[in-house]
Amino acid sequence: MGESGGDGGRRVRRRDLLLGGAVAAGAVGLVARGGRLPWERPSGPRRPRVAGAVDFAGARWVAASPANFRWADRPRDYAVDRVVVHVTQGDYGSAVAAFRDPGHRAAAHYIVRGDGRVTQLVRELDVAFHAGNREYNERSVGIEHEGFVDRPEDFTDALYAASARLAAAVCRRYRIPVDREHLIGHSEVPGADHTDPGRYWDWDRYLRLVRGAHAETGASRSPAPTPR
């Protein structure tokens, strides 16, 4: 899951983030000391947006707290060249609740539910605090997946298929190569202390599905989503 301490610097481990759908005391303590956290930059100019607009067709929009991301204008201000795969370590409802909680100070752009339903919480234009590394937050799109890293049964056929279509759309939009250098796990982000998506995530299967979805369009790139 996207981690508290979002834009890099000091971090709180995954096990301290959600416990039964609540933000644990360690994360709350960081915020309780008051003010902007040291790794957060002020939000940039907020471009006009269409309320409820999504970047992935069919996604449900549920807005994350503005405390959990930074306004931006990607890819004009930051080039996007990575997709970061996360696992929520909890159910869908607890992950959504955490990302809507301003005290959590973390969110991903998307959550894919076990039944394949996709929810977008942060626009791709903006920098979501999901990787625990400022540079990787700025250059990536974060996709959460409902489940637990030690329960392979959570990674359903529907979840893989929906996530692959989503990742393929992101890769087309920003001309990201579909390979393991550019589609990475949270555990592979420099400085990460997370284990997700874990050893049960089937990368070979996932890349095969993403490549298949990417090839279906026959296009090397899709235009930036509109309306903004």
Proportion of the chain above pLDDT 70, given as a percent: 76
Q: What would the 3-class secondary structure string for 109-140 be?
A: CEEECCCCCEEECCCCCCEECCCCCHHHHHHE
User: In this structure, what are the phi and psi dihedrals at residue 194, rounded to the nearest 5 degrees?
Assistant: -100, 160
CA neighbor of 96 nearest in space, from 18, 166, 16, 40: 18
Q: How far is CA 166 from the centre of its chain?
A: 12
**Terminal Cα distance for the chain, rounded:** 26
Give the chain's mean pLDDT.
84
pLDDT tens for residues 6-39? 565 434 344 334 433 333 333 333 333 345 553 4
Bridge partners of residue 19, in order along the sequence: 22
pLDDT tens for residues 42-66? 666 677 788 899 999 999 999 999 9
Task: Say how many C-beta atoms besides its own lie within 10 A of residue 133's C-beta.
Answer: 24
Q: Alpha-carbon distance 221 to 201, whole Å?
A: 27
Q: What is the pLDDT of residue 1?
A: 79
pLDDT tens for residues 186-227? 999 999 889 999 999 999 999 999 999 999 975 444 444 545
Q: How far is CA 46 from the centre of its chain?
A: 20
Spatial contact of 124 and 170, defined as CB atoms under 8 Å apart: yes
Indicate the SS3 state at residue 185. strand
Q: What is the pLDDT of residue 25?
A: 31
- Alpha-carbon dihedral sign for residues 72, 102, 7, 201: negative
